[in-house]
Amino acid sequence: MSEAVAHPQALAETYEPSLFGTYSKKIGMWLFLLSDSLTFGALLYAYTYGRISTPNWPTPFHSESIRNATLMTAFLLTSSLTMVLAVRASVFGNAKTQRWWLFATMACGTAFVVLHGREWSNLIAEGLTLPVFPTVPHHTASAEFSNVAQTVPQFPATFFGLTGMHMLHVTLGVIYLGIIALRRTFIPILLGLWLIAWLATPAYSPFHYGAHVLLAAAVVCGVIVWLKPKVYDSSDVEVAGLYWHFVDLVWMFIFPLVYLMSTRII
């Protein structure tokens, strides 16, 4: 024991080198993304199987939905660029520039979620809905979307399941980056956003349901940052970048499969 204390290098040599010569946080994130890819793979498979096995698979999306989805894609692609710049700034030790690029990434991710939630609201109001969704009061559903929900219920089930899971990942990614950029300061911001989403949106709005995600994230993140406060270094920013790029990559499969291949050409 005394020799180990006197010679710390000898103690360090008793441990095996890290897997692939990298640090444990990065390996942990890769393992998480590997397991998460199975989740999205199952959802993409379910949507693809339903499309192939159903003779009259609906194509309900028009030019407005495609323009909205294209804009969402542009925001995600831009966020990948800003995330790369944030990682680069962290490597060079430029904390201020790193924080601003993280803010830019969060802004792009937030814009994606807002556009997606607005699209959900419009589709639900027009009749593309699930039995668990509340009815939109004082609104007449479109016959086209109502027929889709009744004749091919697999379509709204797989559509909302796949895009909802992705939207949840983007939301958690924005919160993740917010904690890295602001640490404890981001917790009251989360609680404020939760209060706004809960009180300012109607009960049938997707943003009203999303408020629960913000509240749960605020509680979990609050426990983490208070029990283990730390200054996040470049390795933490790089690991967060891995998660963010994975979320962007998944959308590159969802966009053509769900939107472009389900477009009604008139």
pLDDT of 166 reads: 96
pLDDT of 4 reads: 46
Q: Tell me the per-residue pLDDT of 232-247, one tens digit each, with 9 for 90 and over.
A: 888 899 999 999 999 9
Which strand (E) or helix (H) includes residue 159? helix 154-182
Domain span at residue 162 reads: 2-262
pLDDT of 2 reads: 44
Which strand (E) or helix (H) includes residue 103? helix 95-125
| Domains contained in the chain, number | 1
C-alpha to C-alpha distance for 33 and 29, rounded to whole angstroms: 6
Predicted model pTM:
0.87
pLDDT of 200 reads: 83
Q: Tell me the per-residue pLDDT of 95-143, one tens digit each, with 9 for 90 and over.
A: 999 999 999 999 999 999 999 988 888 888 887 787 777 777 666 666 6
C-alpha to C-alpha distance for 32 and 52, rounded to whole angstroms: 30
* Whether 176 contacts 243, CB under 8 Å: yes
pLDDT of 140 reads: 65
Give counts: helices (H), strands (E), the chain: 10, 0
Closest CA to 102 of 131, 82, 119: 82
* Whether 210 contacts 164, CB under 8 Å: no
Indicate which CATH number applies to the domain containing 240: 1.20.120.80
Closest CA to 250 of 54, 80, 27: 80
3-state secondary structure of 22: coil
Q: List per-residue pLDDT tens for the chain, 266 residues long.
A: 444 444 445 444 554 555 555 667 888 899 999 999 999 999 999 999 988 888 888 877 778 888 999 999 999 999 999 999 999 999 998 999 999 999 999 999 999 999 998 888 888 888 778 777 777 766 666 666 777 777 888 888 889 999 999 999 999 999 999 999 998 899 999 999 999 888 888 877 888 878 889 999 999 998 988 888 777 888 899 999 999 999 999 999 999 998 888 776 55
- Cβ-in-10-Å burial (0-12, 13-18, 19+) of 247 comes to buried
C-alpha to C-alpha distance for 9 and 223, rounded to whole angstroms: 35
Closest CA to 127 of 115, 111, 144: 144
Cα-based distances in Å from 1 to 6, 10, 11, 16, 212:
9, 11, 10, 19, 52
